[in-house]
Homo-oligomer: A and B are copies of this chain.
Amino acid sequence: MSNAESTLSIFSLGGINEIGKNMYVVQYSNDIIVIDCGSKFPDESLLGIDLIIPDMSYLQENKQKIRALVVTHGHEDHIGGIPYLLKKLNLPIYATRLTLGLIEVKLKEHGLLGESQRVIIDSDSNINFGMMQLSFFKTNHSIPDCLGVVFHTPEGTVVHTGDFKFDLTPVNDQYPDIHKMAEIGQKGVLVLLSESTNAERPGFTASERIVGQNIEEAFSKATRKVFISTFASNVHRVQQVVDAAIKTNRKLVLLGRSMVNVVTVAQELGYLSIPEGMLVEASEINRLPADRVAILCTGSQGEPMAALSRLSRSNYRSAEILADDTVIMASSPIPGNERNVAHIVDNLFLLGAHVIYGSGNVTGMHVSGHASQEELKLMLTLMKPKYFIPIHGEYRMLHQHRQLAVSVGVQKENVYIINNGDVVDINDSVARQTRKVHAGNILIDGLGIGDVGNIVLRDRKQLSEDGMLVIVITLSKSEGIIISGPDTISRGFVYVRDSEDLMKDVNRLVVTTINSLQEANVNRWNVLKQSIKEAVSQYLYAKTKRRPMILPIIIEV
């Protein structure tokens, strides 16, 4: 049976060797199931880029085979790319109620709500897609309603964990389906795909419940207003903030668009329980006694335009942090955000606030949503897979996850550490990784999808470091002599008023360069421009050790 018709193929279009833009594919024969379609934020080297999504050309080329997009949970790195996918392909989306609710907010913003086909599933669903049958199991994570996905194929069973931890004392009864997982493992798992975010972290991730206790204690101690910032999508934590506010007799104000959006969806769908009259508008803050109000806001990652950052700069229209108010940072900075978060803390102290900040285990105001090493071993032990593909992590995390798998009995040669696009093919229970499909990044800048390439980014980098110098010269068409100019316009290079001499020297150099070329009877524009560029660039580097972009503009009249 070793032919393409009966091959089980597994690969990733995003999410491996990176944190973000998760997108995995399980294909059996002519049936393709896509799992998740996330986005990620660019690092600082991608100047001006707003968002990155997976290159989906493989899916476009095979669109007649795609049966469904199954979404494990509602985080941006799993749903952020969906609007862009739907603009290219029409495929049905399967997800739990809350996950779909959050996807719908996104589709609405892109004007895609009417056209899309959406199916609500839960952990008891069983769906047939061609020769594959899908079933699910509940996991828990820092957002409710998360699923692991089980693919029953003629070749064997494939399990995709989604994002998970094992919180055995969860908030809102979101227990993980441990018995179901054990049963799946007992029946035999051919391939396990398991997330690797915390594969470097020893031990067992703490329960969300301890955060609730600490929030309640801080609310009780606070003598004036309490501001608390966390991820809007962490509905469990939002519930615990609501509960703490109830217990300490405070009204609750929501600040920040994504906080209002998520709370609205979660409340409508019954994932959040907030008593009537508890939520009040920001305009009410000053009418209430200071010890009767709590403010739940976005910006826990230090995002400069989010509520907490603006509050810390006293730059928020409808609310103000005053001396002796309490501010709780119920989050840990994601790598890369440490400085922004630290500067907010600086500003909050300057305002005289009591600030509860620091890493999760110090303050008890945050726990991770991802499985640590002992939980990853637990998942591997429950599933007892023959083959293991660590996913959802950078290389060192995948590497550590492999060590964990081997430590609980997976054969080392049966662990596939792959890149996005590397395909693991399985025939007759034997896996091989030899072929690749196209995978990559699509950069989104403003309304442009994928129109910013390497040349544009390289130009932005040069412009950002040393600016540019435009040199305008008018030449007579007949004799090739200079009629006017050179005129230099500098942007981002030096402030011209301070550099008149430098600019005069540049102008003289341009004249000399043109004249010497005229004498040699060379007046093709490209040669002229290139010679000016080189001469000016060399001169400026010697004088300033900077390399601005030189843009000669030659007008012939």
Contact = CB atoms under 8 A, between A and B. Distances in A.
Interface stretch (A92-100, A287-295, A341-349, A530-538): A341-349
A546 B448 contact: yes
A395 B349 contact: yes
A471 to B, nearest CB: 10
B484 A463 contact: no
A350 B399 CA distance: 9
A493 B455 CA distance: 10
Interface in A418-449: 445-448
21 contacts: A17-B346, A44-B44, A47-B492, A200-B358, A336-B339, A347-B395, A349-B395, A445-B546, A446-B544, A447-B544, A447-B545, A448-B546, A456-B467, A459-B492, A468-B491, A472-B553, A472-B555, A484-B557, A553-B553, A555-B555, A555-B557
Contacts of A277: none
Given A349-B399, A555-B474, A495 B545 contact: no
Contacts of A447: 543-545
A499 interface: yes
Contacts of A355: 396
A315 to B, nearest CB: 17
Copies assembled: 2
A217 interface: no
Contacts of A492: 47-48, 456-457, 459-460, 463
A489 interface: yes
Nearest to A338: B335
Contacts of A457: 492
B335 A339 contact: yes
Contact of A451 (B47, B349, B499, B553): B499
Main secondary structure of the interface of A (DSSP, over half): mixed
Interface string A388-417: 000000111001000000000000000000
A318 B283 CA distance: 66
A516 interface: no
Given A451-B499, A456-B494, A557 B483 contact: yes
Contacts of A395: 346-347, 349-350
A290 to B, nearest CB: 22
A281 interface: no
A494 B179 CA distance: 54
A551 interface: yes
Interface in A9-64: 17, 43-44, 47-48
A357 B494 CA distance: 42
B494 A448 contact: yes
Nearest to A546: B446
Contacts of A446: 466, 544-546
A493 B453 CA distance: 10
A303 to B, nearest CB: 14
A472 B551 CA distance: 12
Contact of A396 (B339, B346, B399, B467): B346
A484 B555 contact: yes
